[in-house]
Amino acid sequence: MLEELNIRNYALIDEVSVHFKPGFNVLSGETGTGKSILIDALSLALGAKGRGESIREGALEAEVTATIRVSSSPELSDWIEKYGIEPEDGALLIRRTLKRNGRGSASVQAVPVTRGALAELSDALVDIHGQHEHQSLFKVAVHRKLLDRFAGIDERVQNFTALFSRLSEMGKQLEQLDREDAQMAREAEFLRFAVDEIDSAELSDGEEEVLEERQKILSGYEELAGNLEKILDVSAEARNGALSGLRNAGEILNKTLGIDSSLTEIVQRFDSAFFEIEDIIDEVRKRRDTAEYDPAELESIDERLARISMLEKKYGALRISEVKAYASQARIRLEGFDTRDEQRRELSAERDAVQAEVVAEAAAISRIRRGSSVQLQEKTEKHLHVLGMADARFKVELEGKRSSEGRAVIGPYGSDVVEFLLSANRGESPQSLKSVASGGELSRVMLAIKTSLSESDTIQTMIFDEVDTGIGGEVARSVGEHLHGLSLSKQVFCITHLASIAVFADNHLQVNKNSLDGRTVTRVQNVDGDLRVREIARMLAGDGDNAESLVYAARLLEEREH
């Protein structure tokens, strides 16, 4: 439960320290004194988004600290395990600061935490119900959330939503594959053709260079044959031939050796060179004798080189090795297509399995909702009778979700459409809340639902900000009795303008607005005894000093005591 709230430099509050008690706590005061500021400050401490303009004028920052005594609950245990922050002597100290730029700091037990962590802690400890939540009952989507909370399946539905999102994502992936199939089929067809075309060419590395050399020879055959013949003519053994002359020179050089023995090395070199030249001429003769011109071979080489050139241009290559590399990459890409097909089959199988799980889980959640709807209906209707709506009939209607074509469908939260219906008067059939509920009735419907929910949750502190909207007289008294009854198992806070509610408080706090040193400040004081009688009288007649109002106020409090 909330034990203490300290506020500094927030809105009209310069510095306030408020102590709360178990049971039913009421905050009252003139309109505009700042009653809701206390709730806003507590909301800030519990993770609400802060605004720099909420800081008191002239101050650099606002600070709110809250001391909350806690009891064990699964939600709190999960929070403690997640953040590793333990209560001390059964209590948590929460501190939040706010600077003018909207930034600030937050801590629990002096351990820095994020605003999100505070919000999670708030969900486990405090239920704050503001006036705007009455209007939220007009939104049918809220009805499903309230029923799920009553049924205790919030987390299960969240898990279902995640599962449904996973199924939707799988569907999108398969649709994307379908859209890509035609394009990829065309690409695969081209790649297969390319691989077949390149493979059928049976290309060899270096083949192009060899063929080009052979083509050069065949294309210049006549010139080649003529030049070889000329070489043989000028170097023949015949008269005036080069070999004949060299042979004569060798004979003369050998005769000279008899005269000068120092010519021995030169003679040897000459003989070696002559034999080499003779061998070369012999090779030239063999080439002349074996040289052949085959037009068919040249034509075949031309065709082969043309095919190689075509493949190089077609596949953006400069040489055969690059064409072959293109074919290798194409094969890898085609293997990827095969893998993609397998991936598609696996994804389809997984999608089918998840879809079956979604269908089964949606059916299970629907069964729980239907069972819990009867309980919520009965409990809420019972509370409405206590709250002065004796003839009210409350119905939780569940229908299967339908597509525009009328087919049963499953959505992110299951297969159900949940709507609360109300008949406020005898003889009328239940209709949508928006159609039949007045402002006061709507407040009581929300209070009845909140009470029903509180019986099944572990949150120990409930705060109602102006739950008395649109009610008065005996109905207000019924609301006061109801809130007091609720406070027997919960700590309940209520901001109210109605004396018939305030008299049921176990702890009555009065909020005042005063001037101090030329500035307006909000003060909070616990009222008891005569002070409380005066405050009840003020709430009754607008004047806490009116004798008749004081007598009536004292009588109301006395009746409450008994």
Cβ atoms of 461 and 23 within 8 Å: the answer is: no
DSSP tally for the chain: helices H, then strands E = 18, 15
CA torsion angle 556 559 561 562 (round to 10): 180
- Given CA atoms 230, 231, 235, 238 in this order, what sign does their dihedral have? negative
Element (H, E) at 471: none
d(CA 266, CA 246): 14
Q: Which amino acid belongs to residue 349?
A: A
Q: Return all residues near 20 (Cβ < 8 A) that are at least 6 apart.
A: 1, 2, 3, 4, 5, 491, 493, 507
Cα gap 37→35, rounded to integer Å? 5
Give the SS3 label for residue 335: helix
Pick from 207-216, 385-394, 513-522: least confident: 513-522
Is pLDDT above 70 for 158?
Answer: yes
Instruction: Determine the Cα–Cα distance for residues 493 and 524; give it in Å rounded to an integer.
Output: 15
Tell me what pLDDT residue 78 has. 87
| Whether the predicted pLDDT of 131 surpasses 60 | no
Cα dihedral sign, 319-324-329-330: positive
Q: What is the DSSP letter of 546?
A: -
DSSP assignment of 371-430, as one string?
HHHHHHHHHHHHHHHHTT-TT-EEEEEEEE-B-TTS-B--BTTBSEEEEEEEE-STTPPP
In this structure, what token pair is assigned to residue 423? 């008949």
Q: What is the pLDDT of residue 244?
A: 77
Position with higher pLDDT, 216 vs 535: 535
pLDDT: is 99 or 222 the higher one?
A: 99
Looking at residues 530-557, what average pLDDT do you find? 86
Q: Per-residue pLDDT for 462 more than 60? A: yes
Question: Do 425 and 456 contact (CB within 8 A), yes or no?
Answer: no
- For helices 264-290 and 242-257, the axis angle rounded to 10 degrees is 160
Tens digit of each residue's pLDDT (9 = 90 or more) over 350-376:
999 999 999 999 999 999 999 999 999
Of 221, 222, 223, 203, residue with least CA distance to 211: 203
**pLDDT given at position 135:** 59
CA distance linking residue 498 with residue 542, whole number of Å: 11
Strands 461-465 and 126-129: parallel
What is the pLDDT confidence band of residue 540, given thresholds at 50, 70 and 90? confident
Report, at the CATH architecture level, how domain 1-133+454-526 is classified.
3-Layer(aba) Sandwich (3.40)
Give tens-digit pLDDT for 403-421. 877 788 999 999 999 999 9
Find, among 16, 466, 14, the residue nearest to 4 by Cα.
16
115 within 8 A of 49, measured Cβ to Cβ: yes
Q: DSSP labels for 73-139?
A: -HHHHHHHHHH----BTTEEEEEEEEETTS-EEEEETTEE--HHHHHHHHHHHEEEE-THHHHHTT-
- Work out the average pLDDT over 420-431: 87
Is residue 298 very low, low, confident or very high in pLDDT (cuts 50, 70, 90)? confident
CA 148 – CA 127 distance, rounded (Å): 16
| pLDDT band of 201, cuts 50, 70, 90 | confident
Ramachandran angles phi, psi of 137, nearest 5°:
-65, -20
Q: Which residues of the chain are in CATH 3.40.50.300 domains?
A: 1-133+454-526
CA separation for the pair 529, 511 (Å, rounded)? 17
Q: Is the pLDDT assigned to residue 13 strictly greater than 90?
A: no
**Does 167 have pLDDT greater than 70?**
yes
- What pLDDT score was predicted for residue 377? 93
- How many CB atoms are located within 10 Å of the residue 264 CB? 10
**C-alpha to C-alpha distance for 421 and 39, rounded to whole angstroms:** 31
CA 434 to chain centre: 34
Task: Kindly tell me the burial class for residue 213, based on how many C-beta atoms sit within 10 Å of its own C-beta (0-12, 13-18, 19 or more).
Answer: exposed
User: Rounded to the nearest 5 degrees, what angle is found at the Cα of 432, between the Cα atoms of 427 and 434?
Assistant: 115
The answer to whether 468 and 498 have CB atoms below 8 angstroms apart is yes
Task: Give the count of alpha carbons within 13 A of 246, CB side only.
Answer: 18
